[in-house]
Amino acid sequence: MPRAIWSGSISFGLVNIPVRLYSAVSRKTVRFNQIDSATGSRVKQKRVSAVDGEEVPYERIVKGYELPSGDFVTISDEEIAGLDPDAVRTIDIDEFVDLADIDPIFYDSAYHLVPDEQTAKPYKLLASAMEEAGKVGICHFVMRSKQYLAAIRPKDGRLLLSTMVYADEVVDHAAIGGFDLLDDISIDAKEQAMAEQLIATLDATFEPARHRDSYRDAVLELIDRKAAGETGEDLVPAPAPSSDKVIDLMAALEASVSAAKKARGRHPASGRGTAGAKAAKKAAKKSSKKSAKRTRKTA
């Protein structure tokens, strides 16, 4: 059973709804330890002074902020604690906005908001009213001495909370450069139509379970094989990616559309009357007619 990482209440107007916060995502990253290849033992990291290389005891370590000059300003834990936001146990909804108004780039981590047993009705009422209005609640709250901006959105009668990054944390595309290359490019109408056809050919309903982390699966398979005694000499390296550049855009689009149609034709149950399904239906109809003719001749 997962444990709640925060508890408090949703607050808007004069309404307070107690809730518990649970992580909605469980990362499946494969983590490795650093091992000494000579002894097979784990390698530990030590905190050492950059001046003399001597190990520094934990009690002598303080926080320091590096200035442009290279000097450091040291800050004590007490000074930092004096700046911590008040650890109030409320998620304060500041406003309600349309979901479409929020650029996904602002979303960070997702959490489930679970209602308290005795206030489940106002929780359900809020979720239902937000879903009916198509609104998302923009809020702020404090967790682990940090103030978060967040969005509360309804989903199937429940409420989800997504922490968000602040506006000054989003990297402006103008600061990266390179996008000005697009200004002088003109799009041919035939290329546009072919690209739209390719998109239509690959159109589907999003089903999260269909997508897997193939790299993680391969790493775990490799670990299992090596744990079973397979040696490095038995492992086949993955082929290097092709460095060929696409020169003829139109030809590449046409080939992509053709390949996508063939792929769908091989899966008659993939969704929307594919080429394979039509061919199977036509063949069945033809076979039925031949059978009917043979029956009439026999009679």
3-state secondary structure of 35: strand
Q: What is the pLDDT of residue 123?
A: 94
| Domain contains 220 | no
d(CA 91, CA 152): 10
Element (H, E) at 114: strand 107-115
3-state secondary structure of 12: strand
pTM of structure? 0.68
In terms of residue numbers, what domain contains 96? 6-28+84-169
Environment class of 36 (CB within 10 Å of its CB; exposed 0-12, middle 13-18, buried 19+): exposed
Nearest to 137 by CA among 7, 8, 13, 5: 13
Q: What is the pLDDT of residues 153-199, one digit of tens each?
A: 999 999 999 999 999 999 999 899 888 888 888 988 998 998 898 88
| Domain contains 188 | no
| Domain contains 252 | no
Q: Is 168 within 8 Å of 153 (Cβ atoms)?
A: no
Phi, psi of 54 (to 5 degrees): -80, 145
| Domain contains 135 | yes
Query: Looking at 59-68, 89-98, 156-165, 229-238, which range is the least confident one?
Result: 229-238
Tell me which residue has tokens 């033809």: 286
Look up residue 159 and give its amino acid: L
Strands 15-23 and 107-115: antiparallel
Structure tokens at 19: 């809730």
More confident residue, 98 or 215: 98
| Domain contains 118 | yes
Q: What is the pLDDT of residues 58-83, one digit of tens each?
A: 999 999 999 999 999 999 888 877 77
**Packing angle, helices 189-201 and 249-265, rounded to 10:** 20
Number of domains forming the structure of the chain:
1
Q: What is the pLDDT of residue 281?
A: 47
Q: How is residue 3 annotated by DSSP?
A: P
Which pLDDT band, with edges at 50, 70 and 90, does 19 fall under? very high
Query: Which CATH number does the domain housing residue 153 bear?
Result: 2.40.290.10
| Domain contains 96 | yes
Strands 72-75 and 15-23: unpaired
Tell me which residue has tokens 């997702």: 110
Which pLDDT band, with edges at 50, 70 and 90, does 283 fall under? very low
| Domain contains 187 | no
Phi, psi of 145 (to 5 degrees): 65, 20
- R_g of the chain, CA atoms, integer Å: 30
| Domain contains 88 | yes
Q: How is residue 146 annotated by DSSP?
A: E
The mean of the pLDDT values for the chain is 83
Which residues neighbour 207 within 8 Å (Cβ) at sequence distance 6 or greater?
none
3-state secondary structure of 82: helix
Distance of CA 245 to the CA centre of its chain: 29
